[in-house]
């Protein structure tokens, strides 16, 4: 064989993978990798590439392997334990997550690539075949046990059997729940929801709900718009459930109305945080490391507070303990924000 490549990079795992995270970063920087602040490598994890860039606050789980000629990983990216990524080009946007036991790889070609947008999740046990490029847009989710294949071949094409090699493109705000199979050459538009256990063999337009094997369109103009009153009710219910979530974890929450705005004071022991919901653009007087302002109006996002979240424009700036907990909680409802800092 002219080209030899170990499926599992045993040598790198033994020599580098079991080093402590801080030593591993020193070795990688000597190799020319560009590694941001607060990056962590789990025991046995390795990153292998000719050109490697890893953004701030990203992490790699236990015995995870990332191997590509070009690796570009954004900020706050998480790669789960026992995940294996082996492709030509790897590009992952900020705040994306690849869970445990995901496999990315397959037959290699000069076009092999996985490009993942911001705030994307690929859940456990999924298999992503990158013989040809796979592109996944911002805020899309790939559920567990999903299969994305860019090639289909086994029996001889010279004998008349079908052979296909083609890329897969998935747009923004797409949700593939568990056990969805995507065939080579498929393009999925934006704002698409797919039923579980579906087989997608043809292109899918934007703003539809599809399901079945093979998948068919079952709803168009999707999702339906909702009124501002309904949005207010939904958000109020989420806030109520967030308070229950904090109380369940032994935090004390006091709710105070400030005109049409609301202040949530969260405490446990000596720690105290405040979350201010502004519906009229009014800014609170507090400014410290444990406070968060939720803008629920047309007021521009502010940098004069430790953390600010703009619900209307889906933007965030800064950080705080209560703020990160709140954003993690509302992500359950598909509400995510673009970092502007």
How many domains does the chain fold into?
2
> What pLDDT sits at residue 289?
58
Pairing assessment for the beta strands 65-67 and 78-79 based on DSSP bridges: unpaired
Query: Residue 66 in contact with residue 89, Cβ under 8 Å?
Result: no
> What pLDDT sits at residue 299?
54
Domain extent, residue 253, equals 228-339
Helix residue ranges per DSSP H, 200-258: 228-248
Distance CA 182, CA 202 (A): 9
Flag residues of the chain having pLDDT under 70.
286-291, 296-304
Q: Which residues pair with 264 in a beta bridge?
A: 255, 275
- What would the pLDDT profile of 89-139 be if each residue is shown by its tens digit? 999 999 999 999 999 999 889 999 999 999 999 999 999 999 999 999 999
| Nearest Cα residue to 17 out of 82, 89, 75 | 82
> What pLDDT sits at residue 170?
98
Cα distances (angstroms) measured from residue 270 to each of 94, 174, 251, 267: 33, 43, 11, 7
Residue 55, exposed/middle/buried by CB under 10 A (0-12, 13-18, 19+)? buried
> What pLDDT sits at residue 281?
72
Indicate if 63 and 147 belong to the same structural domain.
Answer: yes
Query: Residue 131 in contact with residue 108, Cβ under 8 Å?
Result: yes
Pairing assessment for the beta strands 307-310 and 103-105 based on DSSP bridges: unpaired
Indicate if 38 and 57 belong to the same structural domain.
Answer: yes
Residue 321 within any structural domain of the chain? yes
Distance CA 75, CA 94 (A): 5
Indicate if 63 and 108 belong to the same structural domain.
Answer: yes
Q: Taking the model in full, what pTM does it have?
A: 0.91
Distance CA 216, CA 208 (A): 10
> What pLDDT sits at residue 223?
92
Residue 106 within any structural domain of the chain? yes
Distance CA 230, CA 249 (A): 29
Indicate if 242 and 181 belong to the same structural domain.
Answer: no
Contacts of 195 (CB under 8 A, 6+ apart): 177, 209, 210, 211, 212, 215, 218
User: Phi and psi for 324 in degrees, rounded to 5?
Assistant: -65, -40
Residue 296 within any structural domain of the chain? yes
Residue written as token pair 């606050």: 57
- What would the pLDDT profile of 47-68 be if each residue is shown by its tens digit? 999 999 999 999 999 999 999 9
Residue 335 within any structural domain of the chain? yes
Residues, the chain: 341
Residue 5 within any structural domain of the chain? no
Cα distances (angstroms) measured from residue 168 to each of 5, 105, 156: 26, 14, 23
Domain termination residue (choose one: 219, 247, 263):
219
Domain termination residue (choose one: 154, 189, 219):
219
């Amino acid at each position: 064989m002219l080209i030899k490549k170990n499926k599992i990079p045993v040598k790198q795992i033994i020599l580098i993978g079991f080093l402590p995270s801080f030593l591993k970063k020193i070795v990688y920087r000597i190799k020319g990798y560009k590694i941001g602040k607060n990056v962590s490598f789990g025991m046995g994890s390795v990153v292998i590439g000719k050109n490697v860039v890893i953004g701030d606050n990203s992490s790699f789980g236990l015995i995870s392997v990332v191997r590509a000629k070009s690796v570009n990983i954004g900020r706050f990216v998480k790669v789960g334990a026992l995940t294996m990524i082996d492709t030509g080009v790897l590009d992952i946007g900020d705040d994306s997550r690849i869970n445990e036991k995901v496999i990315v790889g397959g037959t290699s070609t000069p076009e092999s690539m996985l490009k993942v947008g911001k705030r994307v999740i690929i859940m456990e046990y999924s298999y992503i075949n990158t013989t040809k490029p796979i592109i996944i847009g911002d805020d899309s989710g790939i559920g567990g046990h999903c299969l994305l294949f860019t090639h289909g071949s086994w029996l001889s094409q010279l004998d008349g059997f079908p052979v296909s090699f083609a890329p897969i493109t998935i747009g923004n705000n797409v949700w593939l729940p568990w056990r969805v199979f995507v065939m080579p050459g498929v393009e999925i538009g934006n704002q698409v929801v797919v039923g579980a256990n579906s087989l997608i063999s043809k292109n899918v337009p934007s703003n539809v709900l599809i399901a079945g094997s093979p998948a068919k369109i079952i709803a168009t103009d999707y999702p339906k718009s909702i009124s501002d009153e309904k949005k207010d009710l939904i958000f109020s219910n989420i806030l109520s459930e967030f308070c229950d979530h904090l109380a369940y974890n032994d935090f004390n929450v006091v709710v105070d109305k400030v005109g049409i705005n609301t202040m949530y004071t969260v405490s446990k022991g000596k720690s105290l945080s405040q979350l201010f919901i502004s519906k009229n653009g009014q800014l609170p007087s507090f400014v410290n490391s444990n406070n968060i302002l939720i803008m629920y109006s047309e007021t521009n996002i502010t940098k004069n507070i430790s953390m600010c979240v703009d619900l209307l424009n889906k933007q965030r700036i800064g950080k705080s303990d209560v703020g990160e907990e709140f954003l993690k909680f509302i992500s359950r409802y598909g509400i995510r924000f673009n970092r502007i800092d």
